[in-house]
Amino acid sequence: MNIATDPSQRYKVSQVLQDAASAGLTVCRTWAFADGGYNALQISPGVYNELVFQGLDFVVAEARKHGIRLILSFVNNFKDFGGKAQYVEWARNLGVQISSDDDNFYTNLVVKGYYKNHVQRVITRINTITNIAYSQDPAIMAWELINEPRCQVDYSGRTVNDWAREMALFVKSLDRYHLLEIGMEGFYGDTMPERKQENPGYQVGTDFISSNLIKEIDFATIHAYPNQWFSGKDEDSQMKFVQRWMWSHFNDSRTILKKPLVIAEFGKSSKDPDYNIYKRDSYMKAIYRNIFMEARSGGTIGGGLVWQLIADGMESYGDGYAIILSENPSTEHIMSQQSRAMTILSHLLRLRRHHHNASDGEIEFDHIGGRSLVA
């Protein structure tokens, strides 16, 4: 959205989506927020920059053109692009008595009102390019409540859980057409204390189990950043953690949540000590292998989203994790292989379900594609 705000730079957005589509990628997760500060979408509560909104319109329209579905996030936990701190600051500037960002973003009525207003403005937006309401646009796969929610004043996860339940109900009251997820990293909380040993030595105030059991939440997410969570540890230790992290969430999604799971962020930073492309490619292969094996065994894993793809000329958005596919043929090859493998597997599993249902004289519906397979 930020790049597309300037029409002369929109070719970069087109290039990213074209590169992704060429590699067989089908889903892109990006921001539907920029709160306060430079080039803001939401300048102040309820006040929007129409030019920036038109940048988001372009992203949605261009994704549709390239056969890419979008996951759009409503707000950031962190201060990048404003985030929850900006919401709290807006309320504080109006004289609302607020003690901390963490507590009041999730509990203060004024702040929650600001958030709901933004959610409504985005969902009910009419795209100026396609003339399609976001709430009706099949180019959008899902909404995300918040990028990486955390709450340092309540490590149990109950505060974030209560907020997620309220906001999930609100989103679904506006739009029952699209999927919804929270935006969690996967940290365990108090619902299943024995699972806390799977966390990287600390909690962040979320509860992967209880929050993703919320009825209105359609699929769960985790992120995987062992280089950040285990900085200073060797590669083997980091990889062992990732393996435990992924399989623990695979099992919980399959047996407890009974919902799809998406690895919504993973990557390897060029800022890591001793980084090289071979290490990044090896890490990606390991993540992709786990995803494929879990899907093949009948698990609920839906796929993985690497952080992050950019185009040439977007280096200012580089954070160490950025990948320009045209300049990284080995990485592009790995992603293309995974895309092909998952596509073939998806078709095989769908045929298997179809034949099983056909033998019972049932009708199977493919909700995402909007098609039906009639026995």
Which positions are catalytic?
148, 265
Instruction: Name residue 222's beta-bridge partners.
Output: 263
In sequence order, which residues have a C-beta less than 8 Å from that of residue 182 and are 6 or more positions away?
144, 145, 146, 149, 164, 168, 211, 212, 217, 220, 221
Distance CA 219, CA 253 (A): 9
Tokens read off for 265: 């962020």
DSSP code, position 255 = I
Widest Cα–Cα separation across the chain = 66
Instruction: Name residue 90's beta-bridge partners.
Output: none
Tokens read off for 33: 């927020």
Q: How far is CA 341 from the centre of its chain?
A: 22
What are the angstrom distances between the C-alpha of 22 and each of 26, 71, 115?
Answer: 10, 19, 36
364 contacts 353 by C-beta, under 8 angstroms = yes
Nearest one of 80, 77, 73, 49 to 123, comparing CA atoms: 73
